[in-house]
Structure 1
Amino acid sequence: MSIRVTNIGEHHDLALPTFGDVLRRLREERRLSRERLAFSAGVSASYVTQLEKGGKGKPTQAVVDALMRCMNQRNPLSDTERRYLYDLAGLTGSGYPTVDELKKSISADVLRMLVMYRPRMAALYDTRGNVLAGNIEWAQAFPGLSESGNLYRWMFADPVAQQVMPDWEIDVRQSVSWLRGVVGSLADPTVFGALMRELGEFEEFRRLWATGEVGYAPPVRTMRLRDRDTGELKTYRIQMGMLDSANYPGHIVATVGLPS
Structure 2
Amino acid sequence: MAHDDNQLGSFLRSRREKVDATSAGVVDNTRRRVKGLRREELALLAGVSPSYYTRLEQGRDNHPSAEILAALARVLRLDDTERSYLWSLVMPPPMPSTSQAPPGGAVRPGVLQLLDRWADLPAFVVAPNRDVLASRELASQVNPAWSPGYNLIEFTFLDPRAGTVYPQWQEIAVQSVAGLRGTAVSRRGELDGFVAELRRRSEPFRALWDSHDVYERTMGEKQLRVPGAGVLRLSFETFALAGPEGHVLYVYFAQPGSADEEALRKLGTP
Contact 2:145 2:152 in 1 (8 A): no
Equivalent residue, structure 2, for 1:125: 126
Equivalent residue, structure 2, for 1:143: 144
SS of structure 2 residue aligned to 1:191: coil
> Structure 1 148/172 Cα, relative in aligned 2: closer, same or farther at 3 Å?
farther
TM-score relative to the length of structure 1: 0.56
> Structure 1 207/98 Cα, relative in aligned 2: closer, same or farther at 3 Å?
closer
Equivalent residue, structure 1, for 2:58: none
1:110 has 2:122 as partner: no
Contact 1:226 1:233 in 2 (8 A): yes
Give 1:207 shift. Answer: 1.3
> Structure 1 122/145 Cα, relative in aligned 2: closer, same or farther at 3 Å?
closer
Give me the whole-angstrom Cα distance separating, in 1, the residues matched to 2:130 and 2:111.
19
Give me the whole-angstrom Cα distance separating, in 2, the residues matched to 1:163 and 1:181.
27
Q: 1:51-109, CA deviations, whole angstroms, 9 ceiling, x for partnerless residues?
A: xxxxxxxxxxxxxxxxxxxxxxxxxxxxxxxxxxxxxxx8757644142xx21x511x3
Contact 2:126 2:132 in 1 (8 A): yes
Greater RCO between the two (CA within 8 Å, min separation 6)? 2
Contact 1:242 1:253 in 2 (8 A): yes
Q: CA RMSD in A?
A: 2.1
Greater helix proportion: 1
Give me the whole-angstrom Cα distance separating, in 2, the residues matched to 1:116 and 1:222.
23
Greater strand proportion: 1
Give me the whole-angstrom Cα distance separating, in 2, the residues matched to 1:183 and 1:160.
26
Give me the whole-angstrom Cα distance separating, in 2, the residues matched to 1:129 and 1:144.
10
Contact 2:103 2:127 in 1 (8 A): no
Contact 2:133 2:149 in 1 (8 A): no
Letter in structure 1 aligned against 2:141 = Q
Give 1:140 shift. Answer: 1.2
TM-score relative to the length of structure 2: 0.55
Give me the whole-angstrom Cα distance separating, in 1, the residues matched to 2:120 and 2:151.
23
> Structure 1 147/135 Cα, relative in aligned 2: closer, same or farther at 3 Å?
closer
Give 1:182 shift. Answer: 1.2
Contact 1:239 1:257 in 2 (8 A): yes
Contact 1:226 1:234 in 2 (8 A): yes
SS of structure 2 residue aligned to 1:256: strand
Letter in structure 2 aligned against 1:135 = R
Equivalent residue, structure 2, for 1:244: 242
Number of equivalenced pairs: 160
Q: 1:226-254, CA deviations, whole angstroms, 9 ceiling, x for partnerless residues?
A: 10x22511111100011134xx36x0100
Q: 1:4-53, CA deviations, whole angstroms, 9 ceiling, x for partnerless residues?
A: xxxxxxxxxxxxxxxxxxxxxxxxxxxxxxxxxxxxxxxxxxxxxxxxxx
Equivalent residue, structure 2, for 1:230: 228
Q: Which has the larger radius of gyration?
A: 1
Equivalent residue, structure 2, for 1:74: none
Contact 1:143 1:160 in 2 (8 A): no
Give me the whole-angstrom Cα distance separating, in 1, the residues matched to 2:160 and 2:241.
30
